[in-house]
Amino acid sequence: MRLWHLFSLAFRYFFLHLRHYLFLFAALSFGFAVISTLTSVQEGMEQNLYSVSQAHYSGDIIMVGESNRRYKVIYNADEILSILENSSMEYEKTILRTQLNGGTLHYNGTALDMKYVFGVDWQEERDIFESMSYTSRTDDPYTPGSIMISSPVAEQLQARVGDLLTLEVRTLEGQVNTMSLVVSALVEDRSLFGYFKCYISRDDLNNLAQFPADAVSNIGLYLNSNQESGAVREELYGLLSSEMDVAPLFEDRKGLYRARWDKWQGTRLFLVPLSVYLSEVDLLLKAISMVSYCLYALMVLIITVSVAVTFRLVLHEREREIGTMRAIAFHQSEIVVQLMFETLILFIFSLGFGLVLSRFVVTLASFVDYSFIPSFEIFLENGKLTAVYTVSSFLANAGIVFLAVLPAVLFPVIMAAKRPLAGLLSGGSK
Amino acid sequence: MKKILIILFFVIPSFLMAEDYQKLLELADSLVNYPDHDFSGQYTITQNKPGQGQTVSVAAIFRRDSQDTYVIVIQEPSINKGQGYLKQGRTLWFYDPESKRFNSTSSTDRFQNSNARNSDFTQSTLAMDYDVISGEEVKLGSYDCWLLELEANNTEVTYPKMKIWISKDGLVRMTEDYSLSGQHLRSTYIPDYYNIGGTFVPKRLLFEDQLRGATINGKFQKERTLIDISSPSFKDLPNSVFSKSFLESVNR
Amino acid sequence: MSIIKLSKLEKIYPLGKLEVAALKGVDLEINKGDFVSVAGPSGSGKTTMMNIIGLIDTPTRGEICIEGKNAGTLRRAELTRLRHETIGFIFQSFNLLPVLSVIENVELPLVLGRLKMKKNERREWVEHLLQEVGLEDRINHKPSELSGGQQQRVAIARALAAKPQIVIADEPTANLDSVTGERILNLMKQVNKDEGTTFIFSSHDPSIWKIADHTIFLRDGIIESETRQ
């Protein structure tokens, strides 16, 4: 009951002293806005990177068939899928792809080497392709004999939708083979993953590269959002290693390379988590994180100092009031509680306003195209920054700011509450 | 042996059986292979990319067919000077004088980004690598030729399908290279040969890419690479030439 | 019977390297129900003595007993509780809480105090007090909407709300005009008579001393004289 009265008093005092709290409110709101923007944009960048990578590598865990052949091949994809389906393992879906690292597109005399040629099941991956952005496309680009290329490639070839390209590749045995394909879509993808890659149907690519009809290069496993990749990978390893040659699990690129140095007969299956492929950009991610953390720490410091200085002034102006309260009814601890309640109310309002300010800033920032920054495209969605606001990030940021503000407020409040009563009532500190 | 084969082919009626086409291939190989001697020569490689101008490279070639090895040293332009290739059996090394490292490359790759392939500089193995699917007599310019359609019988060769025009003297005058699906990829023209004591060395090789080129003044012009071979010699070469240290020493 | 007893009370304030003795050994007894005025010129130690009696300040030396309890032996929390339960305060500047209405200001010592009262009983008691001070029609007004005299009357009601034994009033009429000041004093006197509450107030005004039963004259930190009526 006393606590409720103290809170009620604190609420009224907050609005009475709003003028005094305005600077604090501005400092806290601005600081929280900056922090929220930093974390949400960073999360957005990581999410964009993950989404782009997931679509590029086709899954959260990618089963890759390695042998001494020119390309990666899994000959027993049906067997693997059957094992998965008959197990109790949970996952969202599997994606089969054939992949060639290399190939040349020819159009009107211009030849452009590709980094990747993907053979996909158009219908199985329809939702992935529907989520991509296109410069132009046919109504149904998912037909045999069609090819999707990225817009930078199209620009260099001077090709458009409907044009007939020749795709030249080496077969599994190393022979030159070609196929004519109709451009069905130009993908607006200028990222590191997007350049110099093209998509054709898996049947077409298997035919072109002389893969067995049911062979694939990799099987991508998409997990449910609440699943942890490490645990699923271990479960997968347990399921498959008893039936076929599966490489020991590894956690990073170095581990993958070490596993590849091993000698084996035939095809060995590698279970590669997406994080291993993403470790290529790990250094860039770490650099971005470092900058972000430095700005974050700086902002927290600014908030702490602003609050500490301003709050002392606010308390100084309210000394007589504090003295009266202590004289007539309040214990020292109750003074502290009431003032802390006022701070809490200020904090909550500041968080709310800061969050709104952050969203406003992010919305403004999203009008700019940042793809001119080299290597930055992989963190963007169609060239724009996106922000992801999660409850956990909000709580973490609020917690950190609270912990930073708490000593800045609590210490002066305790000092003010403990001052000699005579001095407080006389209007000066003694 | 070569002379006997030539005489036989001139004498035998023009109608040939399949096994005779195979022997024709053997003859064509034998005329341009040098199993008893080393071969050296200077190759001037002129690349013509329509719309992009011309680039000229000069390279020294050293071949020892008996050991299925060759060495190529780039002499011009200066930016590529010192680069080299060493074929040892089925392995082809590329030497970069900048990094002083040898990297494994493939015979099927393009030579110095031209329309020639690395495999074009090794000895001819048509008879070993290809089966004759069909043959007929045709006229190619002033030459009476046999036109043979070939399909590779192994996966080691660059082009799985070929058409080859062999003149009555057993020399290859023209080839057309095809992909597995039958797409015409490249044409090679060999207009004339040096005759050095019954051993033949092409004087020039013209490679014309069928897919690469550019439209200039409304007309599609294909990429071409012309190789002029000069100073052919069959003098034996030191064994040290066909080694990595030779390529390194050339650059010191 | 004495409700307040001061024995050899001294209060010394350090002022840099110097020491200023505000009280130099004060002995005083105040009886229950007394209406006491403390008089003296500026710097005589009036406020210091009032603060010590009100348990707002502590003596440097000497003893103070409130209702027989030696304040010097109590811990801080016990001292605070004793102050809240036994003493009411009327300040020169009224010191009402601006965010609370009149009735809430008066109710505050009861809400946060240890006097057990049901909510409706508390309300009735507070309304009675406000009626006694003549502000029954202003109960929902904020202090900023009242005159000085009205505010001081609220302060008196607040000081009496927790039914203290002692009320300390430091210059209660200093910020009021003479007519209002007289009314306030008469009100305090009335409460003193009706409730038996001991009143101790300080004032510069000699005319106000006349209504007190017991007047203490302070000069230079000692009691110069005492008169009782």
Q: ipTM of the assembly?
A: 0.86
A57-61, A329-333, B88-92, range with greatest mean pLDDT: A57-61
Q: Which chains touch A (3 or more CB pairs under 8 A)?
A: B, C
Which residues on A lie below 8 Å from C56 (Cβ)?
327, 421-422, 425
Compute CA distances C95 → A373, A417, C148, whole Å.
63, 17, 11
User: What are B232-252's pLDDT values in tens digits?
Assistant: 999 999 999 999 999 999 876
User: How many angstroms from the chain centroid is the CA of residue B96?
Assistant: 23
Which residues on A lie below 8 Å from B212 (Cβ)?
106, 109-111
Contacts of A356 (CB under 8 A, 6+ apart): none
Q: Does A69 contact chain C (CB < 8 Å)?
A: no
- Among all residues of chain A, which has the CA nearest to that of C51? A422
Look at residue B14 and tell me whether its pLDDT is greater than 60.
no
Q: What per-residue confidence (pLDDT) applies to C47?
A: 87
**What DSSP line would sit under C192-228, residue for residue?**
HHHH--EEEEE-S-HHHHTT-SEEEEEETTEEEEEEE
User: What are B19-38's pLDDT values in tens digits?
Assistant: 689 899 999 999 999 999 99
Average pLDDT over residues A311-334: 86
Sequence spans of domains, chain C: 33-61+74-228
Q: What per-residue confidence (pLDDT) applies to A429?
A: 43
Look at residue B189 and tell me whether its pLDDT is greater than 70.
yes
- Among all residues of chain A, which has the CA nearest to that of C110? A329
Look at residue C145 and tell me whether its pLDDT is greater than 80.
yes
- Distance from the Cα of B87 to chain A's closest Cα (Å) equals 18
In chain A, which among 397-426 make CB contacts under 8 A with chain C? 420-422, 425-426
Which residues of chain B have a Cβ shorter than 8 Å from any chain A Cβ?
50, 106, 108, 152, 155-160, 179-181, 183, 185, 211-215, 220-223
Q: What per-residue confidence (pLDDT) applies to B239?
A: 93
Q: What per-residue confidence (pLDDT) applies to B162?
A: 96
Q: What per-residue confidence (pLDDT) applies to B45?
A: 95
Q: Does A332 contact chain C (CB < 8 Å)?
A: yes
- Distance from the Cα of A107 to chain B's closest Cα (Å) equals 8
Contacts of C76 (CB under 8 A, 6+ apart): A332
> SS3 of C86, please?
helix
Q: What per-residue confidence (pLDDT) applies to B7?
A: 57
Q: C60 burial class (0-12, 13-18, 19+ CB within 10 angstroms)?
A: middle
- Distance from the Cα of B157 to chain A's closest Cα (Å) equals 7
In this structure, the strands spanning B38-49 and B161-167 are unpaired
CA torsion angle B195 B196 B202 B204 (round to 10): -90
Lowest-pLDDT range, A125-129, B17-21, B215-219, C54-58?
B17-21
Which residues of chain A have a Cβ shorter than 8 Å from any chain B Cβ?
106, 108-111, 166, 168, 170-171, 173-180, 208, 210
Contacts of A406 (CB under 8 A, 6+ apart): none
The answer to whether the bond into B77 is cis (omega within 30° of 0) is: yes
Which residues on C lie below 8 Å from A325 (Cβ)?
97
Look at residue B16 and tell me whether its pLDDT is greater than 60.
no
Nearest C-alpha neighbor of B68 from the set B112, B23, B119, B24 = B119
- Tell whether the torsion through CA atoms of C97, C100, C106 and C111 is positive or negative: negative
Distance (Å, whole) CA C76 – CA A158? 88
Mean pLDDT of the residues in chain A: 88
Domains in chain B, CATH or no CATH each: 2-250 (2.50.20.10)
Q: What per-residue confidence (pLDDT) applies to A430?
A: 39
- pLDDT band at residue B81 using 50, 70 and 90 as cut-offs: very high
Which residues on A lie below 8 Å from C99 (Cβ)?
9, 12-13, 15-16
C91 to A425: CB separation less than 8 angstroms, yes or no: yes
Sequence spans of domains, chain A: 2-53+281-426, 58-280
- Among all residues of chain C, which has the CA nearest to that of A420? C57
- pLDDT band at residue A190 using 50, 70 and 90 as cut-offs: low
Q: What per-residue confidence (pLDDT) applies to C114?
A: 67
Average pLDDT over residues A140-145: 90
Lowest-pLDDT range, A186-190, B102-106, C33-37?
A186-190
User: pTM of this prediction?
Assistant: 0.70
Distance (Å, whole) CA B92 – CA B103? 9
- The position carrying tokens 């000959």 is A75
Q: What per-residue confidence (pLDDT) applies to B47?
A: 95
Distance (Å, whole) CA C86 – CA C117? 16
Which residues on C lie below 8 Å from A334 (Cβ)?
112
- Among all residues of chain C, which has the CA nearest to that of A426? C47
Q: With contact defined as beta carbons under 8 Å apart, do C202 and C172 qualify?
A: no
Mean pLDDT of the residues in chain C: 87
Could you give the percent of chain A with pLDDT greater than 90? 44
Can you give the three-state secondary structure of A36-91, one letter per residue? Answer: HHHHHHHHHHHHHHHHHHHHHHCCCEEEEEECCCCCCCECCHHHHHHHHHHCCCCC
A19-28, A327-336, B58-67, C150-159, range with greatest mean pLDDT: B58-67
- CATH code of the domain occupying C33-61+74-228: 3.40.50.300
Look at residue A43 and tell me whether its pLDDT is greater than 80.
yes
User: What are A227-241's pLDDT values in tens digits?
Assistant: 888 999 999 999 999
Which residues on B lie below 8 Å from A173 (Cβ)?
155
Q: Return the DSSP state at C63.
A: E
- The position carrying tokens 């406000």 is C130
Q: Which one of A70, A108, A175, A200 would you mutate to disrupt binding with B, by most B Cβ within 10 Å of its Cβ? A: A175
Which residues on A lie below 8 Å from B120 (Cβ)?
none
B180 to A177: CB separation less than 8 angstroms, yes or no: yes
Q: What per-residue confidence (pLDDT) applies to B50?
A: 92
- Among all residues of chain A, which has the CA nearest to that of C59? A422
Look at residue A309 and tell me whether its pLDDT is greater than 70.
yes
- pLDDT band at residue B6 using 50, 70 and 90 as cut-offs: low
Number of CB atoms found within 10 A of residue B58's CB = 18
Look at residue A213 and tell me whether its pLDDT is greater than 90.
no
The minimal CB distance from B183 to the residues A108, A166, A210 is found for A166
- Is A50 or A68 the better-scoring residue by pLDDT? A50
Q: What per-residue confidence (pLDDT) applies to C115?
A: 67
